[in-house]
Amino acid sequence: MHPNAQIERGVEVGPFCLVGEHVKIGRGTVLQGHVVVNGWTEIGEDCQIFPFATIGSASQDRKYRGERAYARIGSRTTLREYVSVQRGTGEESVTSIGDDCLLLAYVHVAHNCTVGRGVTMSNLAQLAGHVEIGDYAGIGGMVGMHQFVRVGKYGFVGGYTKLSRDLPPFFLCDGNPPKPYGLNSAGLKRAGFLPEGIAELKRFYRLIYGSKQSFSQALAEMEQTVTTDAGRELIAFLQTPSDRGILK
């Protein structure tokens, strides 16, 4: 462990761990063993980092030239065996993972990704650069995501899916090529969404994927008839400019 690393009280650093000069680790976090944390990396409180995870290593992007860039992990997040999280490409850029996330073994989070809070990523899920994952989303095992793809809040991506377009919040998709399969109803009910919010999301889903209207026509009707916060959240996602476009 480098003498300049900032380690709070109660941190446990197990055998054969490497902790670099610019690393900050919050109170109560545990590095179990054989963990490598380097670069300009910040890890929050009460995290569990399992053996052979690597956090804050240099971006694999060809454009990376050694500039100062960051990796940030929130509090109470668990990174299982062989998870890799790389710092950003570009001066002062950030790769971030929020609070209360669970990343299972062999998950990879590439440069400039943003993973929200409460996200679960199953084994071998792989994020290319600049991917955005909304709060409480679920990513199945062996999922691969194209650069600049977005997954909205409470979205769910089924295992083995290759996702190259944006998945709107609250919806789920599966397959190769991926197809939308309705709402993430189980996740929404577990999270305490009100029945009227779920009903409006179902109606909006049918407008987008089950009607003969164009996307712009469906969006215009949604804007005119929305009554719930969940519906407004979906509309805001759809209105945000997208590099990859919405999943069809």
**Mean pLDDT of the 111-138 span:** 98
C-alpha–C-alpha distance, residues 34 and 54, integer Å: 9
Cis peptide before 15 (omega within 30 of 0): no
- Average pLDDT score over residue span 61-89: 98
- pLDDT in the model for residue 24: 98
Percent of the chain with pLDDT over 70: 100
Q: Taking a C-beta distance cutoff of 8 angstroms, is the pair 213, 221 a contact?
A: yes
Half-sphere exposure (Cβ direction) of 36: Cα atoms closer than 13 Å: 12
pLDDT digits (tens, 9 = 90+) for 141-198: 999 999 999 999 999 999 999 999 999 999 999 999 999 999 999 999 999 999 999 9
Average pLDDT, stretch 108-115? Answer: 98
pLDDT at 98: 98
Please state, in angstroms and rounded to a whole number, the distance separating the CA atoms of residues 58 and 187: 35
* pLDDT tier, 207 (very low <50, low <70, confident <90, very high otherwise): very high
CA 181 to chain CA centroid, Å, is 20
End-to-end Cα distance, the chain: 49
Which pTM value belongs to this model? Answer: 0.97
What structural domains and CATH numbers belong to the chain? 6-130 (2.160.10.10), 188-239 (1.20.1180)
Average pLDDT over residues 112-124: 98
Q: Which residue in 37, 33, 38 sits closest to 15, CA to CA?
A: 33
Q: Quick one: three-class SS letters along the chain?
A: CCCCCEECCCCEECCCCEECCCCEECCCCEECCCCEECCEEEECCCCEECCCCEEEECCCCCCCCCCCCEEEECCCCEECCCCEEECCCCCCCEEEECCCCEECCCCEECCCCEECCCCEECCCCEECCCCEECCCCEECCCCEECCCCEECCCCEECCCCEECCEECCCEEEECCCCEEEEECHHHHHHCCCCHHHHHHHHHHHHHHHCCCCCHHHHHHHHHHHCCCHHHHHHHHHHHCCCCCCECC
